[in-house]
Amino acid sequence: MAKITVADIQENREAINQLRDKKESISEKQQKEHYSIEQEYSNKIWEIEKEIWEIEKEKRNTLNTLRGKQESVIVEFDNSIQTHNQTIKQAERILECLRLDSNKDIAITDDEIEISRYITPHCESLGYLLDDDYLKIKVFIVGNQKPKNKYSLIAIGKSIFTEDLIKLPYGYGADILTHGKGFSLIVPIKDMTNTAELKEYYNKHKAKLLNDVIGEYQKVKAEYLDTMANYSIGDFRELVTWTCPKCADFYTIFNSFSTNYTPQCFGHDPYIDMVKVG
Ligand SMILES: [Zn+2]
């Protein structure tokens, strides 16, 4: 083997340095190539993504526009239905007025007020707050089951108008027995320790008591009188499905009953079967 000289070493070191330089420059070039290809594809992908995004945006806009149009069509239908329904609702109220018994006795007698057991035994009438043809409201002082404010001022009402025509307050707070009495209105007004205070309270507030209810009643009464002046059941004969053989009560196509069921007229004791029309 030839002896290694300094020249050999230098030559080899030189060669290594040159090769390293070349390697480095090539790897730099490779990196640039790599980067540029990556860039190229990234750009392509970005273009496509932008396009997808645009398409998605277009899809959303198109759907929104469509939804708006569809909704407005539905709203139009709803409005039309609403318009027709006004007539139906009006007819239902007219029919409800026609089936009322204007001769029904709605007087409130003082002995009708029956108080629950185990309470302060007291029942005193303060007379009518409203004594009108179709609504009567009487005010009473009755005992209650409270330990201190033992007496209640309550208003009791009877009306020929049904719930379908007027929503009258019906408070269960009063300690009186109401079952089967035909009360349409019960309003517990005030509890106090003695009856004298309650009477004073009543006289002081009488003018404003139940003003909302009475106002609402006056409106329904006007509606009722107007209806009775302009309509009779003959105007709706084709709609009548059942009639009571004893009184003027009837049912129409607006009252639905399951087949094989005979509705009854509740205006008699005991109730009686209605008769099918046609
Ligand atoms: Zn009847």
In this prediction, residue 83 carries a pLDDT of 93
Q: Is the pLDDT of residue 227 over 90?
A: yes
In this prediction, residue 33 carries a pLDDT of 96
In DSSP notation, 233-258 reads: GGGGGGGEEEE-SSSS-EEETTS---
- Lowest mean pLDDT, pick from 13-27, 102-116, 183-197, 207-221: 102-116
In this prediction, residue 118 carries a pLDDT of 67
In this prediction, residue 173 carries a pLDDT of 65
Q: What is the pLDDT of residues 173-205, one digit of tens each?
A: 677 777 777 899 999 999 999 999 999 999 999
Cα–Cα distance, 158 to 137 (Å, whole number)? 7
In this prediction, residue 31 carries a pLDDT of 96
Q: Give distance in angstroms: CA of 274 to centre of ligand 1.
A: 8
Q: Give distance in angstroms: CA of 249 to centre of ligand 1.
A: 5
Q: Give distance in angstroms: CA of 99 to centre of ligand 1.
A: 10
Q: Give distance in angstroms: CA of 269 to centre of ligand 1.
A: 10
Q: Give distance in angstroms: CA of 242 to centre of ligand 1.
A: 11
- Average pLDDT score over residue span 132-146: 93
**Which of 149, 210, 133, 185 minimizes the C-alpha distance to 141?**
149
Mean pLDDT, the chain, integer: 92
In this prediction, residue 263 carries a pLDDT of 93
- Average pLDDT score over residue span 228-250: 91
Q: Give distance in angstroms: CA of 226 to centre of ligand 1.
A: 24
Q: Give distance in angstroms: CA of 273 to centre of ligand 1.
A: 9
Hey, where are the domains in the chain?
110-219, 232-276
In this prediction, residue 267 carries a pLDDT of 79
Q: What is the pLDDT of residues 13-61, one digit of tens each?
A: 999 999 999 999 999 999 999 999 999 999 999 999 999 999 999 999 9
Q: Is the pLDDT of residue 5 over 80?
A: yes
Q: Give distance in angstroms: CA of 248 to centre of ligand 1.
A: 6
CB 136 within 8 A of CB 128: yes
Q: Give distance in angstroms: CA of 143 to centre of ligand 1.
A: 37
Q: Is the pLDDT of residue 161 over 90?
A: yes
Q: Is the pLDDT of residue 275 over 90?
A: yes
In this prediction, residue 112 carries a pLDDT of 84
CB 112 within 8 A of CB 177: no
Q: Where are the alpha helices (DSSP H) in the chain?
A: 6-98, 195-205, 211-230
- Which residue shows structure tokens 């480095």? 24
Q: Is the pLDDT of residue 168 over 90?
A: yes
